Amino acid sequence: MAPAERTPAGLRELAALFLRLGATVFGGPAAHLARFREEVVLRRGWLDERSFADLVGAASLLPGPTSTEVAIAIGRERAGIPGMLVSGGLFILPAALLVLLLAIGYTQLGELPALRWILAGVQPAVVLVIVQAVARLAPGALGGRAERLLAVGALLLAVAGVHPLAILAAAAFGLAAARGLGRGEAVAALLLPGPLPGLAAVAGVATIALLPLFLLFLGLGVVTFGSGYLLFAFLREALVLPGLIPDRVLLDAIAVGQITPGPLFSTATFLGYLLAGIPGAIVATVGIFLPAFVLVGLAHPLLPRIRASRRLGTLLDGVNAATIGLLAAVSVELARSAITGLATAAIAAGAALLLGSGRVGPTGVLALGALAGLVLGAAGLLVPA
């Protein structure tokens, strides 16, 4: 491992790298991590393979966006606390700014027929991207009979209306108990604050005071374990079910997070703007990413123990198994909102075929869904909900 470089030149190098990565790397956490490895292990030699793998493994045990946490950890390893602020902050910044611009355009142009057709075409494609993520995560997360039972139980509890956090805590505790690790290893529940509704800015969207909005997204940043896609289950619980936004707006927010570079959690910027304008975008973004900086900063000195901990690994196994069930439930609910007729069903089927072929990635599928929505809408074959 290369020694830490806490000089201005070292910080500038970190800044240039992660600003570029944040602005250019599409495709979600797997693509992010592959590029990180290429840049910091193979090209620059800042870390060796084992050290990089340790950072990825430790980040997977923490709540929050895994690739962002690895970016933060690389900065921490390379240039201490200033380095982690630089690498993490500049990896997030391009996506947050781009998503904010898209959110502003969405509020101004969201009711134009052409844009509604595009979004109506993207929405079923988004559902299939989530389904593909579930399919890819399932083999690794459901390796044993206990994990498969937990996933089924999580699905049934989610359909019954149980809060996702309670489901994750129960799964972590249940697997820990089954493996004889004791009650003290259960995940503690965090009650998410209820936002305050106000006047609508976009059709069906309420406004929220800034402090409850910050606390809401701070809570999401603390409790979103496992796949980043699990964030959508929490967002639906916190925003859709109380009536603050409709499902279609959540689908639009997910699509924006998918088609922009950088972390998927930038969806928070989009929703924050819709709920409370530019100040809302800022507090939602800070709220959801702040726990990642704090947790990586605290966990970094403990990295060897974290990677060797059988107890933490067991808790994560339980959370990952429940995540599959939760994502399956969310996919069903979002599909009901996105697939409303033959046209959107055809777009969903096409998205499934393209993703299954492996020749087109999620970003390409979303772009093709948008094109299909525009063509079908202009032909009068697609009527947005």
298 exposure class (CB count in 10 Å sphere: 0-12, 13-18, 19+) = exposed
> Crossing angle, helix 247-259 and helix 310-338, to 10 degrees?
120
What is the distance between the alpha carbons of residues 266 and 271, in angstroms, rounded to a whole number?
9
To 10 degrees, the CA torsion angle through 77, 79, 80, 83?
Answer: -100
Question: Are 377 and 384 contacting, i.e. CB atoms less than 8 angstroms apart?
Answer: yes
pLDDT at 182: 47
Tokens of 85: 């602020």
pLDDT at 183: 42
**pLDDT per position in the chain (385 positions), as tens?**
444 455 565 889 999 999 999 998 876 777 788 889 989 999 999 998 878 877 877 777 778 888 899 999 999 988 899 999 999 999 999 999 999 999 999 988 866 788 888 888 888 988 888 888 788 778 877 888 888 888 899 889 988 888 887 888 888 788 877 776 544 443 333 333 333 333 344 555 767 889 999 999 999 998 886 556 778 888 988 899 888 899 889 989 988 888 888 888 999 999 999 999 999 999 999 999 999 999 998 887 776 666 566 776 677 678 778 878 888 888 888 888 889 889 999 999 999 999 899 888 887 888 899 899 999 999 888 877 6
Question: Are 75 and 86 contacting, i.e. CB atoms less than 8 angstroms apart?
Answer: yes
pLDDT at 185: 40
Enter the pTM of the model: 0.76
What is the distance between the alpha carbons of residues 23 and 20, in angstroms, rounded to a whole number?
5
Nearest to 222 by CA among 160, 290, 308: 290
